[in-house]
Amino acid sequence: MKQDGHIGRLGIDTRKLGMWIFLASEIMFFTGLIGSYIVLRFANLQSWPVPSTVLNIPLTAVNTFILICSSATLVLGLASIQRGYKEGLQVGLFLTVILGTVFLSIQFHEYCNLIDDGFTISHSIFGSCFFTLTGFHGAHVLAGVIWLTVVLIRSLLGYFTPEEYAGVEIVGLYWHFVDLVWIILFTILYLV
């Protein structure tokens, strides 16, 4: 069996394996943050605000939909290159970058409004938890947008083919993870 430079002895692409190991560490990171939030929230039930009195749930629901759509555009881009349609990959990546940027812009707008209303990281335990969780997630989205932009540029330069598209799959694993984390954060911070 012929092996290329990225396939290990077990037949596993080492690039994908590396991403799965990285994502496992990210799961532990976010599990620690979310677990801390849950403990703090239930330890302070009397003083914990109702999220709808502080946060803009309708705006964030739209923002959540935008992030979910960005996962769909990335899936369509990947499916396109697997069928040999390079332009479809480029459109999918471009739309994913745009939607990710829109998500970050809306989150920034929400932060500005909250800070203007006096809700800051030092305002309360809820404020500390909210800005920590959403801030770390936002940093991950920003890293993903930058990475997707690099992959988009590489796609424009012809780096991906129906035989070699692992770079798109790997950034996709990361992006879908970031989306899943946001769905969990939106649920526990805004809705519960």
* pLDDT per residue as tens digits for the range 93-132: 999 999 999 999 999 999 999 999 999 999 999 999 999 9
User: pLDDT digit string (tens) for 38-75?
Assistant: 999 999 988 899 999 999 999 999 999 999 999 999 99
How many C-beta neighbours within 10 Å does residue 56 have?
16
User: 9 or 157: which carries more pLDDT confidence?
Assistant: 157
User: Which CATH fold would you assign to the domain 14-191?
Assistant: Four Helix Bundle (Hemerythrin (Met), subunit A) (1.20.120)
CA–CA distance, 93 with 152 (Å, rounded to integer)? 6
Which residue in this structure is represented by tokens 């598209």? 165
User: pLDDT digit string (tens) for 159-178?
Assistant: 999 999 999 999 999 999 99
Residue 6 has pLDDT above 80, yes or no: no
Residue 5 has pLDDT above 70, yes or no: no
Counting Cβ atoms within 10 Å, is residue 4 exposed (0-12), middle (13-18) or buried (19+)? Answer: exposed
pLDDT at res. 2: 38
Residue 20 has pLDDT above 90, yes or no: yes
Say if residues 13 and 6 touch (Cβ distance below 8 Å).
Answer: yes
Closest CA to 134 of 109, 171, 99, 97: 109
Which residue in this structure is represented by tokens 């335990």? 125
Which pairs with CB-CB distance under 8 Å and at least 24 residues apart come from 70-77?
Answer: 70/95, 70/96, 70/99, 70/100, 70/103, 70/175, 70/179, 71/96, 71/175, 71/176, 71/179, 73/99, 74/148, 74/171, 74/172, 74/175, 74/176, 75/172, 77/168
Residue 11: pLDDT band with limits 50, 70, 90: confident
**Phi/psi at 55 (nearest 5 deg)?**
-100, 155
Residue 34: pLDDT band with limits 50, 70, 90: very high
Question: Is 0.85 surpassed by the pTM of this model?
Answer: yes
Closest CA to 147 of 172, 177, 179, 180: 172
